[in-house]
Chains A and B, each alone.
Chain A
Amino acid sequence: MSILLEVDHLKISARKDDDNLTPIVKGVSFNVARGEVIALIGESGSGKTTIALAALGYTKPGLEFTGGQVRLEGEDVITMASDQLRALRGQRVAYLAQSAAATFNPALTIGEQVTESCVLHGILNQEQANERAEFLYRALELPDPDRLGKRYPHQVSGGQLQRLMAATALCGKPDLLVLDEPTTALDVTTQIEVLKAFKSVIKQEGSAAIYVTHDLSVVAQIADHIVVLYAGEVQEHGSAEQVVSHPGHDYTRRLMHAVRPPPGAGQGEETSSEHHREAPALEVKDIVAGYGKTQNGIPSITVLRDVNVSIERGHTVGVIGESGCGKSTLARVMAGLLPAAQGKVLLDGETLKPALQRRSRGELQKVQFVFQMADTALNPRQRIDHILGRPLEFYLGLKGKEKRRRIGELLQMVELPQEFAGRYPEELSGGQKQRVNLARALAASPEVLLCDEVISALDSIVGANVIELLKRLRKQTGVSFVFISHDLSTVASFADEIVVLYAGRVVEKGATDAVLSPPYHPYTRLLISSVPELRVGWLEETMQTQEAQAGIDRVVTLTDTGCPFFDRCPLAIKDTCDRETAPARQLGAGHTIECHRSEAEFVH
C-alpha cells in the first residue's frame, strides 16, 4: 500500500495571552496508507483532535504549528497558501466533527450542505452532486433519500445527522477522511448503526481515514492501526489486533483496564443491608410528568407515564435508557425541580410537596442533586470553600471554625487535597471539578443523591476513579443513590437495582443481576447487545442478530395506547402490542417486566 499522509515530527503549540508558547503536540509521527483506517486514541488533552485537524492544515484559534511537516502525497500542507488549502479541504481531505447537531448550519437545507463542497470545488455540477448525495443517503441507509436533501437539519434525528455528515464528507470522494469522535455523543443503539454505516462506506469508497476517539471498544471495531497518545506524545503504535490483544505500553494497559466488560450479571458488589430501615429512603408512586400546559392531570408533552420506583436506604438504583426516554425528567421530579402532574414523591414514607419551593429546608437537605456538567454547575466566580460552605451554613448552620473543619473533611472524602479550598473551579481539571460537585451535594448530609450522568463527560480513566469514589462513599455514609446513565457497563458495576425506561415507561425493573441476565425485556436485550465489546470483529457479529436488525436507530415514539416499543421490537405481536398496554409480569423478588410475551418466550 502506498503512503497517503505522513505526519512527521509534528509540533503544535498554544499561544497564551502573554505570548508564551505552550506545547500541545510534541513531535508526533505516523503514516496513513491508502485505504487504511488509523485510530488516534487518548484522553482529553492528549492532542488527538489537534493532530487530526493538522491533516487539513488547520489549527483551532489560539494554536499554531511550531515544527515538523504533514505531507499529503509528499506535499506539506502546513506551509500551503490559503487557496491551495481551500482546494484541499473537502476535496482531498474531509472532516467529520463530533457533534453533527452543532456543525450543520440550521439555516440551510441538508442537501445544500452535503453537496456544497464538491460543487464549489468544481468536482461535480449541482445535478451530479445531488445524484451522488442521494446515492450516499441510500448507502448510509438514511430514510426517504429522494426528499432528504430538501429538509433542514432540525427535521432529522441526531443519529441521522451524524450519518449525513459522513455523506457531506464523502460527497467529493476524498482520499482521506478525518473522523473526530463521530459516535461519542450517541446512544449505544445509534452508535452501532452509525459505526456500521461508516465502516461499510469507507470500505466501499476505498478512502483512508483518521479516526479520533477515546473509546477503545469502538476503535477495535473500525481501525487497522492504532496510535495511542498521551499529553501530545505517541505512547504506542501498532496494528489494532496487536494493541488490543497485547498492549505493549503501560498507559495503553491503563486505558484497557478502564474499559468495563460488557454489562452482565454479577459485576456489582454485594448489596449491603446494614443501613436498612422499614420505609424506603425515596419512593415515587404513579408519576405522570412532562412539560407544557397540564389539562386533567396530563401535561401536553408527557414524558413520564405511571412510573413507580422505590429506593431502599443505602441502595443504588440505576436508571437506564436511550436519550429522550425520561431519565433526567425522573430525577427532576424526585428533586422537585419539575412538579409531577400526577402521583406522589415520598421521602422516608412521608409525602413530599411536588414543587421544590414548597418543601421544607429539612426535606430539601435530604435529597441532593449532582448535575452532569460540573463546569456549569459550579459558579466560576466562587472559591471551592465558598461553594462547599454554602450548604453547610444553609442546612446545618455551621459557621467559622466548625465550617472550615467540615470543608476539610469533605475534600478528604472526595480525595482532594486540602489546599483546593482556596482555588477557583477553573483551576481544576474536569475530574476534580466533578469531585467538588459531588462534595457540594454531600455537604448537605443528604439521604438520597440524584446523580445525573455524572461521569458521562469524563474520560474513561477519570470516570472509573469517580465510580470507585462513589462506591466508597456509599459504604461510608449509607447514602442512597439514584444513578442515571446511558452507560450500561457503569450501571452494571455500581447499581443494586436497575430501572429500564423506554418512552417514559418503566419496561423492566429489578435487582441488577436479574435485569442483566435472561429473561430480558426485548428492549433491555437490545440495549445490552448494543454495548461495544473490546474485541475485533464484534460489530459484524452483532449486526447479524435479530435485535439489531429490528430495533436500531428508530425514532422513539410516545404512544398513548399499547407498548411504545412496539415498532422496534423483534417479538412484537401485531394488533396486541400496538393496542393494549402491556401487563407487568412478576418474575420473582421485585423483578418485573412489562410485556405481552410470557416468561418462556423471553428466553432465547
Chain B
Amino acid sequence: MLWRALLSRLGISLVTLWVVSVLIFIGTNLLPGDVAQIILGQMATPESTAALRAKLGLDKPPYLQYVVWLQNVAMGDLGISKAGLGAGLGTPIVEILEPRIFNTLRLTGLVTVIVIPISLFLGLIAAMHPGTRLDRAVTFSTLSLISVPDFLVATMLVLIFAVFLGWFPAIVYLRGDETGWVLIKTLAMPILTLVIVASSQIIRMTRATVLNVMSSPYIEMAILKGVPRKRIILRHALFNAVGPIVNVIALNLAWLVGGVVVVEQIFSYPGLAKLMVEGVLMRDLPLVQACAMIFCVTYIVLIFIADMATILSNPRLRHPK
C-alpha cells in the first residue's frame, strides 16, 4: 500500500512535469517576435533573418522544435542561449545558469535554516497559549506581514537597516569569494526580507493545525491522563499536524527558489528568478524555457517530498491492517 502510494505519486509527478514542459514550450512560442530578429536588430533584412532562423532551427515546425528541445533537456543539454546575456552569442545555457543556481540555492538554504525552526517555535508557542497576549501578538504580526506585499517589506527594511542605521548594504554586490560573516552581512537584507515573508505563512499554518488537533478528544484524554503540556504538544499533537505543516513549508521553499522575482530585483541579487526576467526581456526562448523547467521541477520535487512526509506520518498507510 505504501509502495503503491509512492509509485502513483511519482507517476503523477512525471506526468505533471511533461504537461508543464508542453505548456512552457507553447507559451514561450506565443510571445511575439523571435530571437533572430533581436540578434540582427536594425540589420534585419528578410534574407538574413531567414538565414539565421535556419541556423538556429527556428524554421522547423513547432512540434519538431519541441521534440528536439525535450530530447536535449532530458540529456542535460539545455541548449544554446540565443541572446547571450552578457556572455556573448552562442553560450551554452548551462553555463549561464550555473552561477545563478548556486546563488539561488545559497540564499534559499540560508533562509530555510532560519525560517523553519523560528516558524515552528513561534507557531507552537502561539498554539500552546491560545488567546494570551503572546498568541495575539504573534497572530497580529504574522497577519499584518502576510497582507503587506514583499516589495514593501523589502523597501521598509532597506529604509531602516541600510538608510537610517547603515548596518547593511542596500543592494547585494557579490564578488563571488565572500565567506562567513562577510557573506552573511552582504546577504542580510534579502535574507531578512524572505525570512519575514516566508515565516508568517508557516507560523500561521502551524498554529492553526496544532490548535485544531488540540481540540480533538485524544488530547483531552492525554490531559486526563496527567500528561504534561509540553509532551502533549510535542508528542501527541505535532505528529498529527505534520501533513499540513510540511506542505506549507514545501510551498514556501519552492517560492524561495522561483518566486522571489521582486525581491531579487530590488536587491539586484543575481538569482534564478531575475535571470528568467532578463531572458523574457531578451526574448531568449531557450533560456526562459530552461528557467521555467527548473522552477517546475523544484515545485514538483518539494511537493512530492511533502506528500511523502504526509503519507509516512499517517500510521494507517504505514501499517495497513
* Chain A residues, CB < 8 A from B236: 105, 107-108
Residues of A within 8 A of B225 (CB): 89-90, 94-95, 116-117, 168
Which of B42-50, B176-184, B215-223, B245-253 interfaces with chain A? B215-223
Q: A86 and B228: CB pair below 8 A?
A: yes
Interchain CB contact under 8 A, B224 and A152: no
Would you give the shortest CB distance from A54 to chain B, in whole angstroms?
A: 12
Q: How far is the CA of A106 from the CA of B221 in the complex (A)?
A: 13
Choose from A95, A99, A102, A121 the contact partner of B224 (Cβ within 8 Å).
A95
Q: Which residues of A contact B223 (CB under 8 A)?
A: 58, 89
Within 8 A of A (CB), among B97-148: none
B4 lies within 8 A of chain A by Cβ: no
B224 x A105 contact (CB < 8 A)? no
A87, B239: Cα distance in complex, Å: 25
- Using A152-B315, A154-B316, A154-B321 as known contacts, say yes or no to A95 and B240 having CB atoms under 8 A apart: no
Contact B221 A120 (CB under 8 A): no
Q: Give 1 or 0 for each of B226-246: 1 = CB within 8 Å of chain A CB.
A: 111001000110011000000
In which size bucket is the chain B interface?
20 to 34
Chain A: minimal CB distance from B127 (Å): 15
Q: Which residues of A contact B222 (CB under 8 A)?
A: 105, 116
In the complex, A374 has a CB within 8 A of chain B: no
Contact B316 A120 (CB under 8 A): no
Is there an interface contact between A107 and B221, defined as CB atoms closer than 8 Å? no
* B226 A104 Cβ-Cβ under 8 A: no
Is A421's beta carbon under 8 Å from chain B?
A: no
Q: How far is the CB of B212 from chain A (nearest CB, A)?
A: 14
Q: What is the interface residue range for chain A against chain B?
A: 20 to 34
B313 at the interface (CB under 8 A from A): yes
Q: A99: which B residues are within 8 A, CB to CB?
A: 217
Assembled-state Cα–Cα distance A104/B239 (Å): 13
CA of A56 to CA of B227 in the docked complex: distance in angstroms?
13
Flag whether B319 is at the interface (Cβ < 8 A). Answer: yes
Residues 74-95 (chain A) with a chain B CB within 8 angstroms: 85-91, 94-95
Q: In the bound complex, how far is the Cα of B221 from the Cα of A168, in angstroms? A: 11
Return the contact of A121 from the options B216, B217, B226, B319 (Cβ within 8 A).
B226
Q: Across the interface, which residues of A come within 8 angstroms of B221, CB to CB?
A: 95, 97, 103-105
Given contacts A105-B218, A105-B222, 17 further A-B contacts (CB under 8 A): A89-B224, A89-B225, A90-B227, A91-B226, A94-B225, A95-B224, A103-B217, A104-B221, A106-B315, A107-B240, A116-B225, A116-B227, A120-B227, A120-B228, A120-B231, A152-B319, A155-B321
A residues neighboring B (CB under 8 Å): 53, 56, 58, 85-91, 94-95, 97, 99, 102-108, 116-117, 120-121, 151-152, 154-155, 168
The list of the 9 closest CB pairs from A to B, nearest first, reads A89-B226, A90-B226, A107-B239, A90-B225, A102-B217, A103-B221, A117-B225, A152-B315, A105-B218
26 A–B contacts from the bound complex (CB under 8 Å):
A56-B224, A58-B223, A58-B224, A85-B226, A86-B227, A87-B226, A88-B226, A90-B224, A95-B221, A97-B220, A99-B217, A102-B218, A103-B220, A105-B236, A106-B240, A107-B236, A107-B314, A108-B235, A108-B236, A116-B222, A116-B225, A117-B226, A117-B227, A151-B319, A152-B319, A154-B315
